[in-house]
Chains A and B, each alone.
Chain A
Amino acid sequence: EAEVAQSPRYKITEKSQAVAFWCDPISGHATLYWYRQILGQGPELLVQFQDESVVDDSQLPKDRFSAERLKGVDSTLKIQPAELGDSAMYLCASSGTGRSSYNSPLHFGNGTRLTVT
């Protein structure tokens, strides 16, 4: 079964440095999500794309976080500068679009575990 690809799997960075995460969704999935999951908590939606357009970024700290999905396929999430509180798992997920996909689950990648020192 096709999977959502994420890289890197682990990332350690010093505070004030820049860091970037990459996600390649399942082929044909128009909707792409970035979630942040702090240890012991549930995933929190950071940004949601429909094709190349951002449809929700209300919880994205825009002073330091940015996300793009230029060609409507793969996506990059960037943090600059990283802060200690950004240490978390960053999960990418994708889903089909349209009413027929409404009851379909999100397909998640394995995530990027970020540690900021």
Chain B
Amino acid sequence: AQKITQTQPGMFVQEKEAVTLDCTYDTSDQSYGLFWYKQPSSGEMIFLIYQGSYDEQNATEGRYSLNFQKARKSANLVISASQLGDSAMYFCAMREPYSSASKIIFGSGTRLSIRP
């Protein structure tokens, strides 16, 4: 069975510093997709970034980048120049190989708090 592990329940970071949120996954499939979502205290789930298992380049979206190490089965999110508005829960998620029923499972999340 597939599994997502986020080992950092909470993190505190000084504003303007970079931060890395860890995510490891367990799968025997060769094809899969990895997502990161942000959930502010208001509750909505905001999509941040996607990495396909066959993508050779690490994904980047503005201040977000994904440090994808396939052999180690890790997909860490890097936020550069953190801002107060980055304070939120962050979830790593994995999509099963393509099918009409491919599921997306989530990790337990990391609560990020940015200090001014």
**Which chain A residues have a beta carbon within 8 Å of chain B's beta carbons?**
33, 35, 40-45, 48, 50, 55-56, 89, 91, 93, 97, 99, 102-103, 105-108, 110-111, 113
- Closest Cβ of chain A: how far from B66's Cβ, in Å? 13
On whether the beta carbons of A43 and B101 are closer than 8 Å, the reply is no
- Closest Cβ of chain A: how far from B40's Cβ, in Å? 12
Give B45's nearest chain A residue, CB to CB: A108
On whether the beta carbons of A42 and B33 are closer than 8 Å, the reply is no
On whether the beta carbons of A111 and B106 are closer than 8 Å, the reply is no
On whether the beta carbons of B100 and A97 are closer than 8 Å, the reply is yes
On whether the beta carbons of A55 and B108 are closer than 8 Å, the reply is no
Tell me which of A45, A55, A99, A110 contacts B43 (CB under 8 A).
Answer: A110
Tell me which of A42, A44, A110 contacts B44 (CB under 8 A).
Answer: A110
Chain B positions within 8 Å of A105 at CB level: 35, 37, 47, 50
Chain A positions within 8 Å of B45 at CB level: 43, 91, 93, 106, 108
Tell me which of B35, B95, B106 contacts A42 (CB under 8 A).
Answer: B106
Give B111's nearest chain A residue, CB to CB: A40
> A108 CA to B4 CA in the complex, in Å?
20
Tell me which of B6, B98, B106 contacts A43 (CB under 8 A).
Answer: B106
- Closest Cβ of chain A: how far from B12's Cβ, in Å? 17
On whether the beta carbons of B101 and A48 are closer than 8 Å, the reply is yes
Give B32's nearest chain A residue, CB to CB: A102
> A15 CA to B34 CA in the complex, in Å?
38
> A12 CA to B64 CA in the complex, in Å?
38
**B30 at the binding interface (Cβ < 8 Å):** no
- Closest Cβ of chain A: how far from B61's Cβ, in Å? 11
Chain B positions within 8 Å of A35 at CB level: 106
Chain A positions within 8 Å of B16 at CB level: none
Whether A43 touches B91, Cβ cut-off 8 Å, given contacts A48-B103, A55-B101, is yes
On whether the beta carbons of B103 and A102 are closer than 8 Å, the reply is no
On whether the beta carbons of B100 and A55 are closer than 8 Å, the reply is yes
On whether the beta carbons of A50 and B100 are closer than 8 Å, the reply is yes
On whether the beta carbons of B43 and A56 are closer than 8 Å, the reply is no
